[in-house]
Structure 1
Amino acid sequence: MNWTERVFKLQEHGTTVRTEVVAGLTTFLTMAYIIFVNPSILGDAGMPKDSVFVATCLIAALGTMIMAFYANYPIALAPGMGLNAYFAYVVVLHMGFTWQAALGAVFVSGCLFLLVTIFKLRELIIRGIPHSLRYAITVGIGLFLALIALKSAGIVAPSKATYVTLGDLHTPQAVLAVLGFFLIVVLDRLKVPGAILIGIVAVTIASFFFAGNEFKGIFSAPPSIAPTFLQLDIKAALAGGILNVILVFFLVELFDATGTLMGVAKRAGLLVPGKMDRLNKSLLADSAAIFAGSLLGTSSTTAYVESAAGVQAGGRTGLTALTVAVLFLACLFIAPLAGVVPAYATAPALFFVACLMLRELTELDWNETTEVVPAAVTALAMPFTYSIANGLAFGFITYAVLKLFTGQVRQVHWMVWVIGGVFLFKFIWLP
């Protein structure tokens, strides 16, 4: 038995080294944008962008590697979008805290997150999630991915009058994204191995000829991480005014990561009796990543919904995650090459995966409105509020209220009432 089989149990999961590596490369390409976007966002808060770039690559590699070896899950971790914006634009720029204090808040929330996981409170939360909401999480993540993809391709654009509207379909980016989508669907239907990866690479190559993309080289030396490493201010984070910030970080981390892990794991067929132990390990992996990320100098790390692209490409084990981790480490030296893949090249892959994730809607009992309506609220709120955590919050509250007023209290797991109450507290009393 070779090393990969012994560690990742490829045969047991019906996969191969080639499939896992292609899946890892696919996941990486769909989320590589974070190594450039995260430094830009945190840089607006006054953090040294070069150091944040290094911290982003290192924590993505470290967290994903823990996920690979400890949980054997095909899920990648990196600093979360939304959480980094809250860190920079709300906590630092709006509320006036230093970025060092904000990092301290991430550290404290990470410690709380770790304790909740170690004492298996997250397991209780997962057991308490109704089956209808579990299906809704997968569907909601699919809709969320669809919105991200359409926005990246320029097919959906902002509008003051209607919030969103149709973008300019005459741009090379939009045209290439549409052609890439059709290419992926056709190749997948013809069962061509690596269909999603082929689509991404094809659009990237075409972008040099039709969309003005420029090749900027391959290698570059990594900058120093010293300006952000261990620069967090825990004392300032424990000050009264920032306690609300810690709670917000904690709640979003808890439900955003949990929702993503459950949705992607279900899509991979891993959320079944007998394999839940791996999910529990994956919860600890992403908890440890938040803690470590704050020490390196970046905002909260979380599981990435883009991992669904790798799962669709066949990823079923930690070898997929290990491939992603190695590529993030390589980005410390090949950032110019990683940055050559435009967002509109990965958009077709994400939109294809999003379409397939909507099939979970067929699992719902459409005759029971107290199950279907909370599920629909969960799924719809995720893309419309641009937050997986918000979708879960609205879903839990809706589920609890409908069961309460239809005399079905005894059918509801006690954890639903606790979670619903926590979210109500968050929406009513927290800014």
Structure 2
Amino acid sequence: MKAFFKFEERGTNYRKETLAGITTFLSMAYILVVNPIILSQTGMDKGALFTATALSAIVGSLLIGLLANFPVGIAPSMGLNSFFTFSVCIGMGVPWETALTGVFIAGIIFMILSLMKIREKIINVIPSDLKFAIAGGIGFFVAFIGFKNAGLIQANADTIVSIGNLGAPGALLAVFGFIVTLMLLVKGIKGGIFYGMVITTILGMIVGQIDVPHSVVGAVPSLSPTFGVVFSHLGDIFSLKIFAVIFTFLFVAFFDTAGALIAVASQAGLMKDNQIPNAGRALLADSASGVAGSIFGTSTTASFVESSAGVAVGGRTGFTSVIIALGFAVALFFSPILSVITPEVTAPALIIVGALMATEVRHINWGKLEIFIPSFLTIIMMPLTSSVATGIAAGFVLYPFAMIASKKAREVHPIMYVLAALFILFFAVS
């Protein structure tokens, strides 16, 4: 097992990997609750969605762990489940069965692109400065999510966002968790992020902010209302409207996953010569999980940026992903326990992980305008638009123009020009 996952080469062990897997699972566990809530607004069965969410996370995390040896968790994407529900089904009036079939077709196309190594080629030609910007931008985005989930910031019509109610019990609990976690990390305690989450959860139950579960074991909801419906609706996708939906699923999922892989590989020190090892296998695992997820009955899956929480406590191999998959498998039968993993519990971890990831921006060449302006745009647009893909798109569109203006057009790979054109089309369509 150690040889298969290259423990010695990556300087890790069973304890680090297990702790990393548990930490990432706890950071991702909210998807088991949130995904069914969002997708059920289309008319889908909430119980079946819970099971489909867990199964797609199990399949995806196992695939990327075993095929690519990556410490990454895969589950239904938060951004794409909202697009699926509010833009496609509710906004465009597309039945959920047809929309799910669109997800299935997008997954098949993804698999073909991955097998042809087109996705891997695209990721590897991205300039190193933009890769560092992607990693740093995701750090700011993750921290922003943490502050929002904790109630430490809130929407404001005049200033867009403002400080939240720091006297609210949930916010106070998150602040406590943040301070405890920071102190553990500063003291050099391995697994400080995980232990901080545990301590915060215990305090939350003691003070009554987190409900103590009344039961431990729960029945697994039936998958039958959603399982396999994509096969009976393949004839419904032949329209310009659905083709536009499939294109959007493809584009957003591609760069959400690319961003997450780049960020995790950079944070874990796995990047070599500006390339991600086993990127092709990782992308194939991601696309295959998307196909499986649509068959189970959930929207597009993606590599989770929350995987960086596990990397922060030492995760370096696919064994971390195996532990993540086991966590989701256990959650199928012990769903009542999930109620203790509240946003206030995970928020401190996300904020600190965001800070750790943001350090990647130090590698950007801040001495050249044509480099740091597109990089900055990539970084800042992620938290401002709540979309990794949009941040990448903005930077990638500007980068070729900046290089042309600085008379360095030949230094830009032709694929980057193609991507810039596609991103302009993406903005026009969306």
TM-score w.r.t. the length of structure 1 is: 0.97
Choose the corresponding residue for 2:125, options 124, 128, 138: 128
Gaps of 5+ in 2: none
Query: How many angstroms apart in 1 are the aligned matches of 2:275 and 2:317?
Result: 12
Q: Equivalents in 2 of 1:219, 1:177: separation in Å?
A: 28
Q: Which amino acid aligns with 1:324?
A: I
Paired residues of 1:156 and 1:166 also in contact (CA < 8 A):
yes
1:183 and 2:169 matched: no
Q: What's the offset of the Cα at 1:275?
A: 7.7
Moved more, 377-386 or 215-224: 215-224
The aligned counterpart of 2:222 is 224
Q: Is residue 36 of structure 1 aligned with residue 33 of structure 2?
A: yes
Return the offset for 1:200.
0.3
Q: What are the Cα deviations for residues 60-101 of structure 1, in whole angstroms up to 9, with x where unaligned?
A: 011100111111110000000010000011110110110000
Decide whether aligned partners of structure 1 residues 275 and 403 sit closer, same or farther in structure 2, where only a CA change above 3 A counts. closer
Superposed CA RMSD in Å reads 1.2
1:158-208 Cα offsets, whole Å, 9 max, x none, are 112222111000012111211211211211121212111110011111111
Residues 91-142 of structure 1: CA deviation (Å, up to 9, x unaligned): 1011011000000100111111111111111122112211110110110010
Q: Is the CA contact (8 Å cut-off) linking 1:229 and 1:296 kept in structure 2?
A: yes
- CA, structure 1 residues 276+140, in 2 after alignment: closer, same or farther (shift >3 Å)? closer
1:426 aligns with 2:426: yes
Structure 2 CA distance for aligned equivalents of residues 215 and 132 of structure 1: 47
Structure 2: distance between partners of 1:124 and 1:274: 12
Matched, 1:410 2:407: no
CA distance in 2, matches of 1:408, 1:241: 39
Contact preservation (8 Å) 1:294, 1:300:
yes
Counterpart CA distance in 2 for 1:266 and 1:191 is 21
**Structure-2 residue corresponding to 1:241:** 241
Deviations 1:245-286 (A, max 9, x none): 000000001111111111111101111149844222111110
| Aligned-residue offset at 1:54 | 0.2
Distance 2:278 2:112 in 1: 18
Q: Which SS does the other structure have where 1:263 is aligned?
A: helix
Partner of 1:331: 331
Specify the code of the residue in structure 2 equivalent to 1:371. I
Deviates more, 1:311-320 or 1:214-223: 214-223
Residue equivalent to 2:360: 360
Distance 1:329 1:141, change over 3 A: same
Match of 2:312 in 1: 312
Q: What pairs with 1:44-193 in structure 2 (closer than 5 Å)?
A: 44-193=41-190
Answer yes or no: is the 8 Å Cα contact 1:172–1:211 preserved in 2.
no
In structure 2, C-alpha distance between the alignment counterparts of 1:29 and 1:222, rounded to whole Å: 19
**Where does residue 380 of structure 1 map in the other structure?**
380
Q: Which piece of structure 1 moves more, 171-180 or 86-95?
A: 171-180
TM-score (norm 2): 0.97
* Matched AA of 2:247: L
Shift of 1:386: 0.4
Tell me whether 1:204 sits opposite 2:216 in the alignment.
Answer: no
Give how far 1:241 is off: 2.0
Rounded to whole Å, the distance in 2 between the matches of 1:276 and 1:166 is: 38
Provide closer, same or farther for how the CA distance between residues 393 and 327 of structure 1 changes in structure 2, counting only shifts above 3 A. same
- Structure 2 contact 374–399 (Cα < 8 Å) conserved: yes
Residue 170 of structure 1 aligns to a residue whose secondary structure is coil
Range that drifts further, 384-393 or 169-178: 169-178
Q: Which one-letter code corresponds to 1:363 in the other structure? A: H
